[in-house]
Amino acid sequence: MPAKHLCVGSLALNDTVYADGRTSMADPGGNALYAAVGANIWSNQVGIVAVVGYDWPPDYTAMLDQSAVDTSGLVQKDAETLRAWTLYEVSGFRRYFSRNTEVVLLTPSPFSSSPLTVKEAAAYSKAARQLHIRNSPLPQELPERLWKDIETIHLSPMRLETMLTWLDYLEDKPGIFVSVDMLPYPLNGNFDDLRLLKLLNRADVFMPSEAEAESLMPGHEAEHFCREIAARGPKIVVVKQGDHGAAIFDRDRDLFQQILPYPADVDDLTGAGDSFCGGFSIGYFETGDPIRAALYGTVSASFIIEGFGGLHALKVTQPQAHKRLANLQRANAFKY
């Protein structure tokens, strides 16, 4: 079936080391993949848009195809796929280190007592920026037929200039419902930053994580943050709060709501927020209710974090998802 819902962002190969010594190598990841799998739990009309490097295993793409995810938006490039170490500390804190060649060669040693020189820091920053730009798709790279039936599009975190390119392109497609996540963007509370305003003006839903919200408004309080953001464009603002659930603000109803998380059997937290966004996008499309949509997103995230990589959740059936949705709705009954 033609895709109605696009999830845009990156693909990545994740090498994970847990504090207890367990490892899992070259797991399929990336924010576009997690968002698409999170959406696919609820719909068989999901498309993924991302860059595929020469080292991306074709078996991973085949698994997406077999699950009805439309992969015609994957852009092939003769370069490395994003790849990183994910290292878990005993506290649960995660550290990320790039394994891509051009960044590794410039990564400072953790054993060095000398700070980077200005020149070294600039070279490292430039390499990391170029790596992410190269691994982010552009709308002009997609086949025109892919746009024919699109009703929703979710933009996963990419470099801000890339996201603004997408939003400029979508100005000519006003009927598409747009949800946006973003990388941390330090503003110290300056919500009138012109690039942020441009992003918020086109977004129907803005869904940062708690850390991303903190980068925009240090020491933020969830409801105040949501109201400040909604006043600048999005009619719905969601702050993903991890194991604390999520905070949702619906501007049209002047409604702020907190929801509880689903008590999942956690194996790997990677991709939880992105899969939440994919599930939310489908939930809102189907129900028109942002609170119920957040429950869809929470269920999607609960399945993702119960295994390594994103593809294991392709096996989730809609009856399984709706069972969790019903349980989660009962748990949030006093809030919903």
The per-residue pLDDT for 233 is: 95
What pTM was estimated for this model as a whole?
0.94
State the architecture of 5-101+139-331 in CATH terms: 3-Layer(aba) Sandwich (3.40)
> How many angstroms separate the CA atoms of 9 and 118, rounded?
31
The per-residue pLDDT for 334 is: 53
> How many angstroms separate the CA atoms of 306 and 315, rounded?
12
The per-residue pLDDT for 155 is: 98
CB of 128 within 8 A of CB of 158? no
Tens digit of each residue's pLDDT (9 = 90 or more) over 145-201: 999 999 999 999 999 999 999 999 999 888 999 999 998 888 777 788 999 999 999
> How many angstroms separate the CA atoms of 336 and 318, rounded?
22
Quote the crossing angle between the two packed helices 31-40 and 272-287, to the nearest 10°: 40
User: Which residues of the chain fall below pLDDT 70?
Assistant: 334-336
Q: Which residues pair with 179 in a beta bridge?
A: 154, 205
The per-residue pLDDT for 335 is: 52
Helices (H) and strands (E) in the chain, counts: 11, 13
Q: Is 160 exposed, middle or buried (0-12, 13-18, 19+ CB in 10 A)?
A: middle
> How many angstroms separate the CA atoms of 62 and 85, rounded?
24
Q: Give me the DSSP letters along 293-320.
A: HHHHHHHHHHHHTTSSSSGGGGG--HHH
The per-residue pLDDT for 283 is: 97
φ/ψ of residue 189, rounded to 5: 85, 0
Domain residue extents for the chain: 5-101+139-331
When computed from its CA atoms, the radius of gyration of the chain, rounded to whole angstroms, is 19
